[in-house]
Amino acid sequence: MNIEDVKKLRQETGAGITDCKQIYESAGENYEKALEILKSKAAETAEKKSARETKAGIVDSYIHGNGKAGVLMRVECETDFVAKNEHFKTAIHDIAMHIVAMSPSGEEELFVQQFIKNPEITVKDFLNDLIAKMGENIKIDQFVRFEI
């Protein structure tokens, strides 16, 4: 078994090391196949959690360095524990930065765009991975992009 591939799977997906190892083995030690399986599991996890009520969250903003574009967004999650988590806040801020850079017209367009920080995945994949890591329903409630 290539432990470096297992570590890379863990780093890329945020899945537990045991899950990464088991899925890597079940995929015949094929990294790409294991990655697809883990992404599929993250999407399934996000789907299962999508019906759960969101009572907490944050409002985040991002202003481009030139001061000519920015976004204000509201993101909901289930608990204050996640809302105060630094990994959660950083991930949400990365999505806000993406919105400023890529100018999606709405949530539907946002979710199918390649994520600016990792063009190998979509924004929806990034959000699904975050949901799997945090173990809670997370949804972008609304965002407004401004530009001069």
User: What is the reported pLDDT for 80?
Assistant: 95
The CATH architecture one would assign to domain 3-49 is Orthogonal Bundle (1.10)
Q: What is the CATH topology of the domain spanning 56-147? A: Tetrahydropterin Synthase; Chain A (3.30.479)
**How far apart are the C-alpha atoms of 59 and 143, rounded to whole Å?**
9
| 50-to-23, 110, 125, 126, 144 alpha-carbon distances in Å | 24, 18, 14, 15, 23
User: In 10 A of CB 47, how many CB atoms?
Assistant: 11
| pTM for this predicted structure | 0.76
Which residues of the chain are modeled with pLDDT < 50? none
Domain boundaries, the chain: 3-49, 56-147
CA 133-134-140 angle, 5° bins:
110
The structure tokens listed for 57 are: 């969250």
